[in-house]
Amino acid sequence: MSDFRIGSRHITTAWILSPTLDLLFLVGTPVLIVPAVWIIGRHWATPEQIDLAVASFASFAHHLPGFYRCYGDADLFARFRWRFLLAPPLFLAASALFLFQDMHALTLVLLLWGTWHGLMQTYGFMRIYDLKSGRQEHWSKYLDFSVCFTIFVAGMIYSDARVNAVVTGLWQSGVPPLDASWLPRLRVACAVFAGLVVLCYGINAVLCFRRGHFNAPKLLLATMTGGLYLLAGTATTNVLVGIAMFEVFHAAQYYAVVWTYNRRLANAWRGRLGALATQLLRPGPLLAIYVSSIAAFGCVRYFGSALSEPLTQKCLLSLIATSTLLHFYFDGFIWKVRERSMPENIDVETAHAKPQRRVPPLEHLAKCSLLVIVLGSLFALERRHNKTSRAHEDQLLQVVFQWTPNLPEVQALASQSAIRRGNVKAAVDLAKKAVARRPRSYRAQATLGRAHHAAGQYSAAVTALSAAIHLAPGDWRCYHDLTDALLADGQVQTAREVALAGLDISRDSGLLLSLGSVLCALNEFDEALNVLGEAASSNTHAAVANYRLGLVHLEKKNVERAIQCLEIAVDRDPGHLQSRFQLGLGYYQTGRLASAARQFERCLQNHAPFPELLNNLGAVYSALERWDKAITTYRNALEMAPESAAAHYNLALAYYELNQPSDARRHLEEARRLGQPIPARLLLELNQRH
């Protein structure tokens, strides 16, 4: 833009479209957006629903008008043919590489590039307003850029949500972030810099006003953009709603300007085309085509969110990432005011005293190479440090919690981590804080419900999970969690109804397992077998489903069928303790003593011992007449549970078989004291041996 100078003829309007349209779409839009989105989020939609709609029909769909410009403007396409032809397949390949490798670096690049993109769009509008007013002082350009830079940097640094996104992206990409103590320092430095910029800009505005060159639309644009960007990241009760507000503003500006530009370009083409094309390029039909095509483009993102198959999800995400990269890349050069077709289509008159500057191919190649270097470096770093363990996730959570401890999304994640660690009190406290800040977030409510469930507060869990379902009636996970909470709270029939309602949404194996547990509690074992059999057909929960099938068959006294299911469960998940323990019991009941001993011994090898396991293993050793092992095992059981009547009784029998009547009598007396019935014949034989 520094190569662009204004002609001497007076320009009659300082507005880009018109005073009314500029206020509606370019400058004053936040005055309409903030209350509209707030009311919708308060009464009709959840933050997640708003986020999906805006991401589809604003963030994603507004790429299409730019593509119209790239591939529909013959002059522009002729100038940048190779960029327009090579960029799509290259960006698609890069997106697919990152997404199919489960890499996160691309998300970080999109976040930072998207922030720069928003900054430059605002800066571009401010420069156009200067051009429309007939002025373009060299120093004014730098002040405008400084204001835009300050707005977006401050909006990034002072927003916990945006800081969290950057820190998470850096960590997941293998780049260690700075220590969290740097955040207050960065905010202070940003405040000082912002104060200096505002002071300089204010002095310049006063001087311009005194000279009669006050540019009200430009100042209003900067004020509205800065206010909304800060509000979107800090002051809203839900970060998704805040993001939606700014994305709608950004997209509205883009839609309006591109529509105006393309309409004027179409008017210039009408005389050179046939009758049908001339009719289609009239404002009415053209606007209908413009709006409907944008809506259709947004539907790809909107309805694609319902995809559940991982491969199709990654394919769709690759296309969305490609579209976003192309949008950022193309907008970096197709909308520059110094382009030949821009002045005439935005009603800016220019002097031709200075020729248009074209970016040399090598300079453009250098910029593209920088992007390749950044993406390649981040890819290599993440491949080197890529970890998917639970410990790695906990480390990430610890880092982001240090940076943004008051962010509700982080508090919810910390609550889930506390549940896994068994710290249920901390889990409940963190989840309550998240709900206090995000009362209409179903994820926050669901997290609170899970925390209450883990703490044994089942009624509170039911209340929170019911609220989550009210906010997100289409999420089957909430039905799954509510079913478990209702079952634990003793509301078995209600749990059945909730599970069936959830299965109308998704036949997920986890929800089928919950329904199976409910049916068992209702003693409807035949129906439970059908439900658990369906769950067992899924690889995700095959081990648990077969384990529960085994338990149901045991209830129905079908031991052999139970053993078959338990064998499948152990084969699918060798580390599942209860499956192996029940399999050992099944072998013991059917007389396969050696197999029972092997299963119980494997349990001891892989898990901490518990009295019931030791007592049953001792019983198997006794049946195999391995009396020394039996006695040792029973003693270990009594060390863990000294008041176990069964262990005392079984140990007495082992001593009896080894002809140690005094020890046998001592443990029999202890077993009797604890309530264990003692056969009179056994006491008689012991007395005879004495």
pLDDT of 440-475, one tens digit each? 888 999 999 999 999 999 999 999 999 999 988 888
pLDDT of 360-397, one tens digit each? 677 778 888 888 999 999 888 888 876 666 677 778 88
Of the candidates 199, 395, 560, 116, the residue with the CA atom closest to the CA atom of residue 108: 116
Q: Is residue 419 part of a domain?
A: no
272 pLDDT band, cuts 50/70/90, is very low
Q: Reply yes or no on whether the pLDDT at 568 is more than 90.
A: yes
146 pLDDT band, cuts 50/70/90, is very high
H or E segment and range at residue 297: helix 283-304
Q: Is residue 436 part of a domain?
A: no
Q: Is residue 524 part of a domain?
A: no
Q: Is residue 282 part of a domain?
A: yes
Return the sign of the alpha-carbon dihedral for residues 432, 438, 443, 445: positive
Q: How far apart are CA 490 and CA 459, in angstroms?
A: 10
% of the chain beyond a pLDDT of 90? 45
Q: What is the pLDDT of residue 287?
A: 80
CA-to-CA dists, residue 253 to 40, 287, 331, angstroms: 21, 16, 14
Q: Is residue 98 part of a domain?
A: yes
Q: How far apart are CA 586 and CA 589, in angstroms?
A: 5
- Mean confidence (pLDDT) of the chain: 85
Q: What is the pLDDT of residue 315?
A: 93
Backbone torsion region of residue 72, taken as left when φ is above 0, otherwise alpha when ψ lies between -120 and 50, otherwise beta: alpha
CATH code for position 613: 1.25.40.10
Q: Which residues contact 29 (CB under 8 A, 6 or more apart)?
A: 224, 248, 249, 252, 253
Of the three residues 360, 385, 410, the one that is the final residue of a domain is 385
Task: Give the domain extent around 239.
Answer: 19-352+369-385
% of the chain beyond a pLDDT of 70? 89
Q: Is residue 92 part of a domain?
A: yes
266 pLDDT band, cuts 50/70/90, is low
Of the candidates 625, 535, 623, the residue with the CA atom closest to the CA atom of residue 584: 623
Q: Reply yes or no on whether the pLDDT at 42 is more than 90.
A: no
Q: What is the pLDDT of residue 294?
A: 92
Q: How far apart are CA 488 and CA 652, in angstroms?
A: 39
Q: What is the pLDDT of residue 452?
A: 97
Q: Is residue 637 part of a domain?
A: yes
244 pLDDT band, cuts 50/70/90, is confident
Lowest mean pLDDT among 77-91, 145-159, 168-182, 484-498: 168-182
Residue 634 is which amino acid?
Y
Q: What is the pLDDT of residue 273?
A: 44
Q: How many residues belong to the chain?
A: 690
Q: Is residue 134 part of a domain?
A: yes
Of the candidates 435, 436, 437, 418, the residue with the CA atom closest to the CA atom of residue 427: 418
Helix 661-673 vs helix 645-657: crossing angle, to nearest 10: 160
Q: Which residues contact 395 (CB under 8 A, 6 or more apart)?
A: none
Where do the H-state alpha helices sit in 22-62?
Answer: 29-43, 47-54
Q: What is the pLDDT of residue 411?
A: 92
Provide mean pLDDT across the span 6-16: 56
Q: What is the pLDDT of residue 3?
A: 38
Q: Which residues contact 247 (CB under 8 A, 6 or more apart)?
A: 54, 55, 58, 59
Q: What is the pLDDT of residue 263?
A: 74
Q: Reply yes or no on whether the pLDDT at 405 is more than 80.
A: yes
Q: How far apart are CA 688 and CA 682, in angstroms?
A: 10
Q: How far apart are CA 445 and CA 47, in angstroms?
A: 13
Q: Reply yes or no on whether the pLDDT at 662 is more than 80.
A: yes
Domain count, the chain: 2
